[in-house]
Amino acid sequence: MKKIAALLLGLALPLSAQVMGAGIDTDPSAMDRSGVIFIEQVLVDPNGDETLEDIPEMIQVINAGDADKDLSGWVLAISQTDGSTSKWTFPQGISLSSGRHLQVYWGTVGEISEAIVHTGPTNLTRLHNDGGDLALFNASNVMEHYVQWAQAGNTHEADAVDAGLWNIGESTPQPKQAEILQYNGSGFSANAWNLLSPQGPTAVEGSTWGAVKTVEHQ
């Protein structure tokens, strides 16, 4: 847990919600996408017995935009092997400041702090160690970000491809125990993700969030 907590770079939970301008893009889904909230890190296979309530998987999101962002009603969803979805909704009133990070502890119990939210004692499916995916949707049910590891063809892949957030058939390597999938900001594909050892040096040196901001969605 301490190692996970040490990864936290900062966060705040202020008040306001500000919707980014839609611009002149003609794609309705892209118009509805904020384009500034990203899945930044995913701990798929934590040390210890992940079926226990005190051994969380972890999903970290970042606000790469210039304004605070209300995440009330946003959704994290993973595909299940039977084609269905297991999802968790961000609580009402949660907001992420510009440049800050929020860690979601998946499947564990705990108090909400400025840095961490726990999904609580739910029936959420754990992140599949052998291969799975994770999608982030905004409150309008528009996919904002996506990652797929170790195997392709998960339920959300097709929608992610349609949204310009993934390439069909791609997946990242399988994360080993305690390794973290880290988004490096270089577009929307498996190549935009590195595997980061919690004990090792960063694998994302040189990544720039500015590169993400300049990507034009389809």
155: its two tokens: 């339920």
User: Whole-number minimum distance, CB 65 to Ca ion, in Å?
Assistant: 30
Q: Identity (one letter) of the amino acid at 106? A: W
The smaller minimum CB distance to Ca ion, of residues 11 and 78, is found at: 78
DSSP state at residue 191: G
The smaller minimum CB distance to Ca ion, of residues 80 and 129, is found at: 129
The smaller minimum CB distance to Ca ion, of residues 46 and 164, is found at: 46
User: Whole-number minimum distance, CB 60 to Ca ion, in Å?
Assistant: 15
The smaller minimum CB distance to Ca ion, of residues 43 and 143, is found at: 43
Which residues bind to Ca ion, rule: CB under 5 A?
A: 45, 50, 126-127, 129
Q: What is the CA radius of gyration of the chain?
A: 16
Q: Residue 113 contacts by C-beta under 8 Å, 6 or more apart in sequence? A: none
Name the one residue in this structure whose structure tokens are 């993400």: 212
User: Whole-number minimum distance, CB 89 to Ca ion, in Å?
Assistant: 20
User: Whole-number minimum distance, CB 171 to Ca ion, in Å?
Assistant: 15
Candidates 68, 78, 102; CA nearest to 155 is 78
